[in-house]
Structure 1
Amino acid sequence: MSGPTVLPHPAREELSLTAVLAALSDPERLAIVCRLDEGALDMAECFSTSPDMPKSTRSHLMKVLREAGIVQNDPAPHGPGRRVSLRRDDLQARFPGLLPAVLENA
């Protein structure tokens, strides 16, 4: 039995300011980032305030955040899900002060 698929994430040096800002411009994605500011969550917990949102929409929102380099998706320690966390250190290294400024004004 194989493990969960490893999802691609951009390397720190590949993070683009325009991609990060575009991803954060959507209110739903920004709300997810605000929730993750409190700590890593299982994927399902990211959407507990929007339980009726279609799975395809949830997947797309997370894909945009991951591909922009804002979040890290890892296999959950228990079960088939994924654990999601902010790439705080990478964002701070590439764009100092950006994430705190966004979260403070969200």
Structure 2
Amino acid sequence: MAAQTNRRELAHPSRVEIRLEDVLHALSDPQRLRIVCEVAREAEGLTCSQVGLPVAKSTLTHHFRVLRECGVVQQVYRGTAKMNRLRREDLEVLFPGLLDGVLRAARAQAGRGAG
């Protein structure tokens, strides 16, 4: 994975380092899937605190770290807040239709009241 250059720049895998099994692992957790669904609705991204999960801050930080390290989200500092955006273009190039399919399936599942 890319090296961290300073405290304000977070390490992200390059496009060629993103692996399907890592993305699927990141998306297999219900809390992380919920994060991805929320971030997907905001083109400009969300701060970690804008995601309404009923978990401890340390747990939320862990989930975002997994998503970043697996290449699902990009995190950048804006002031003191970390902004999170989906790496849609990278994921679409590598795994065409995967992200959109997962988001559709998550919406359908939520509509059934199954999670």
- TM (norm. structure 2) is 0.81
Relative contact order, CA 8 A, sep 6+: which one is greater? 1
Percent of aligned pairs sharing the same letter: 44
1:41 corresponding residue in structure 2: 46
Which of 23, 28, 37 is 2:26 aligned to? 23
For 2:18 and 2:92, locate their aligned partners in 1 and report how far apart those are by CA, in whole Å. Answer: 11
2:72–2:87: 8 Å Cα contact kept in structure 1?
A: yes
The answer to whether 1:87 aligns with 2:87 is yes
User: What whole-Å deviation, never above 9, does each CA across 1:69-96 have from its counterpart, x for those lacking one?
Assistant: 00000112xx411110000000000000
Gaps of 5+ in 1: none
2:75 corresponding residue in structure 1: 73
Aligned length: 99
- TM (norm. structure 1) is 0.88
Structure 2 letter corresponding to 1:44: S
Structure 2 letter corresponding to 1:104: R
Structure 1 letter corresponding to 2:49: A
The CA deviation at 1:67 is 0.4
2:37–2:103: 8 Å Cα contact kept in structure 1?
A: yes
1:4–1:80: 8 Å Cα contact kept in structure 2?
A: no
2:46–2:84: 8 Å Cα contact kept in structure 1?
A: yes
| Root-mean-square deviation (Å) | 1.3
Structure 1 letter corresponding to 2:32: R
For 1:58 and 1:43, locate their aligned partners in 2 and report how far apart those are by CA, in whole Å. Answer: 7
